[in-house]
Amino acid sequence: MYKGKLGIYVHIPFCVRKCNYCDFLSFGEKECKRMNKAGELYERYVGALCEEIEAYREPVKEYAVGTIYFGGGTPSVLDEYLIIKILDKLRDAFYVEENAEITIECNPKTTSFEKFKAYLGAGINRLSLGLQSTDDRYLKMLGRVHTYEDFLIQYEQAIAAGFNNINVDIISALPSQSLHECEEDVRRVVELKPAHISSYGLIVEKGTPLYNDKELLKSLPTDETSVKMYERTVELLEQSGYRHYEISNYCREGMESRHNSSYWTGTSYLGLGLGASSYFNNQRFHNVTKIEEYFELLKDKQKGTQKNISALGNESYVIERDMKEFANIKPQCLWREVEKLTEKDRMEEFMFLGLRMMKGVSFSEFEERFQRPLEKVYKEAIEKHKKAGLLREYEEGGDIYLSLTKKGIMVSNQVFVDFIIE
Ligand code: SF4
């Protein structure tokens, strides 16, 4: 009998080349070669990951792993045998459910029919392919290493290998992009009939080459055009049979991402690898972000723990006290930061994440979790935004839900702010 469900996120921080807009924790091949030969570095990293998995064997033994997600970076940059090695280790150390959803993020320049076949053989049953745009001019501008044609070939190879659960990522609101071009992206992706589509608006992250290209940024679409792009994306996808189930995510019936949905509904997850974040036992913790430190700490876990204790001061006692389940081993040697979530934090998070889902949050679930009625805790915020037409209440299956309206989605951040408890 298992105590609960757990999602596993595995971070692979390597890419062919850094994209111009990306601020994720990842290294391009050039940077990897500077650190070490890329191949050797990948092997070393996977060895360290397996050590980390082993360190969690005891604490995770009472959980059933329902989803595994290889993200990055570009997990498909690794040879398939390395991915299989990680999966074998996960299955050896944890109880992975037979029907677990196992996803791997792929860049079309790093895949092949053989790789897809190997993934399927290892039990990976979902692919997330990063396309971003169907126009090579924009792919170049974003610094992507593939063309639209590369993507199409790899998409077909994935289908031929036997994948039927594929997500395609696209980005809108690119510099100089027109509404028509955005619609074309959506139409072309829909023609491929993937099970799932994620469509995000471009975020210009500080410190990226894109952020520093002030000339290019002058041609970013206006807010008004960006909103229209979002509205048209929703419209086109819904007309084509996709269910809009989260602010930026759409799927064919029953093909939601189980892994991401578990983040949005507050299920526990363990993040493994460099800089990975976890949410477990009402605590959020983040692994170290320097690769040499990651290797070093996994080489000598006891030494790492002591180092961690002196670095964190009193906080380390919080870890020792609250993470009783981690008594025999010290995976916390990798934690750079630990946040103990208070009830207030958990309520806020429940609302922020729940309202991202089109279904919204259930009044009864809130009350069951926090022993307090949602309508009382958030009386003012609910009334204010219902009056402004940004939130709505509806009944389904005997339960009452609170969700964003179409108008509310466009200004979701303004709504979320009012769910912060003073
Ligand atoms: S492939 Fe993804 S993770 Fe890698 S640099 Fe590009 S956007 Fe970032």
Q: List, for residues 268-282, the tens digit of each pLDDT value.
A: 899 999 999 999 877
Q: How far is the CA of 22 from the centre of ligand 1 (A)?
A: 6
By alpha-carbon position, which residue is closest to atom 7 of ligand 1?
22
| Helix then strand then coil, % of the chain, to nearest 5 | 50, 20, 30
| Most ligand 1 atoms within 8 A of CB, residue of 19, 140, 169 to mutate | 19
* Per-residue pLDDT, 58: 86
* Per-residue pLDDT, 263: 83
Ligand 1 contact via 19 beta carbon (within 6 Å): yes
* Per-residue pLDDT, 63: 93
Q: How far is the CA of 310 from the centre of ligand 1 (A)?
A: 35
Taking 80 as the threshold, does the pLDDT of residue 211 lie above it? Answer: yes
Alpha-carbon distances, residue 166 vs 97, 113, 392 (angstroms): 21, 15, 32
- Across 359-387, b (16+ Cβ under 10 Å) vs e yields ebbbbebbeeeeeeebeebbeebbeebee
CA atoms within 13 A on the CB side of 410: 17
Q: Is the pTM of this model over 0.95?
A: no
256, 228 contact by CB (below 8 A): no
By alpha-carbon position, which residue is closest to atom 6 of ligand 1?
19
Work out the average pLDDT over 108-137: 98
* Per-residue pLDDT, 36: 74
| Most ligand 1 atoms within 8 A of CB, residue of 17, 21, 24 to mutate | 24
By alpha-carbon position, which residue is closest to atom 2 of ligand 1?
73
Q: How far is the CA of 341 from the centre of ligand 1 (A)?
A: 30
Taking 70 as the threshold, does the pLDDT of residue 150 lie above it? Answer: yes
Confidence bin at 267 (pLDDT 50/70/90): confident
* Per-residue pLDDT, 312: 36
Confidence bin at 317 (pLDDT 50/70/90): very low
Taking 60 as the threshold, does the pLDDT of residue 190 lie above it? Answer: yes
β-strand partners of 335: 287
* Per-residue pLDDT, 313: 35
Ligand 1 contact via 362 beta carbon (within 6 Å): no
In percent, how much of the chain has pLDDT > 90? 79
**Which H helix or E strand runs over 368?**
helix 363-370
Atom of ligand 1 nearest to the CA of 107: 1
pLDDT digit string, tens, across residues 370-391: 999 999 999 999 999 999 999 9
Closest CA to 320 of 311, 329, 61: 329
Domain architecture of the chain: domains with CATH? 4-264 (3.20.20.70), 281-340 (no CATH), 345-417 (1.10.10.10)
* Per-residue pLDDT, 335: 82
Work out the average pLDDT over 388-397: 96
Taking 50 as the threshold, does the pLDDT of residue 322 lie above it? Answer: no
| Most ligand 1 atoms within 8 A of CB, residue of 12, 17, 22 to mutate | 22
Q: 44-48, 315-319, 323-327: which range is least confident on average?
A: 315-319
Task: Give the three-state DSSP class for 216.
Answer: helix
Confidence bin at 307 (pLDDT 50/70/90): very low
* Per-residue pLDDT, 27: 94
pLDDT digit string, tens, across residues 327-354: 444 677 788 888 888 999 999 999 999 9
Structure token digits, residue 104: 């791997």
Work out the average pLDDT over 381-410: 95
Work out the average pLDDT over 99-114: 98
Taking 80 as the threshold, does the pLDDT of residue 326 lie above it? Answer: no
Atom of ligand 1 nearest to the CA of 143: 6
* Per-residue pLDDT, 351: 95
By alpha-carbon position, which residue is closest to atom 5 of ligand 1?
18
Closest CA to 297 of 91, 48, 86, 71: 48
In percent, how much of the chain has pLDDT > 70? 92
Work out the average pLDDT over 284-303: 81
Atom of ligand 1 nearest to the CA of 22: 8
* Per-residue pLDDT, 333: 76
Structure token digits, residue 333: 């040697």
| Mean pLDDT of the residues in the chain | 90
Alpha-carbon distances, residue 44 vs 25, 35, 199, 294, 415 (angstroms): 17, 12, 34, 11, 45
What is the C-alpha separation between 361 and 373, in angstroms, rounded?
12
Atom of ligand 1 nearest to the CA of 105: 2
Structure token digits, residue 412: 């979701």
* Per-residue pLDDT, 3: 81
Work out the average pLDDT over 112-126: 98
Residue 166: CB partners within 8 Å, gap ≥ 6?
Answer: 126, 127, 128, 129, 155, 158, 159, 194, 195, 196
Ligand 1 contact via 74 beta carbon (within 6 Å): yes
Q: How far is the CA of 204 from the centre of ligand 1 (A)?
A: 14
Work out the average pLDDT over 53-69: 92
Atom of ligand 1 nearest to the CA of 144: 6
* Per-residue pLDDT, 305: 42
By alpha-carbon position, which residue is closest to atom 3 of ligand 1?
73
* Per-residue pLDDT, 311: 37
* Per-residue pLDDT, 34: 85
| Most ligand 1 atoms within 8 A of CB, residue of 15, 23, 77, 204 to mutate | 15
Residue 227, φ and ψ in degrees, nearest 5: -65, -40
What is the C-alpha separation between 382 and 314, in angstroms, rounded?
39
Max avg pLDDT among 30-34, 297-301, 316-320, 357-361: 357-361
> Which segments of 90-203 are extended strands (E)?
95-106, 126-132, 166-172, 196-201
Sign of CA dihedral 143, 147, 151, 154: negative
Length of the chain counted residue by residue: 422
By alpha-carbon position, which residue is closest to atom 8 of ligand 1?
22
What is the C-alpha separation between 152 and 141, in angstroms, rounded?
19
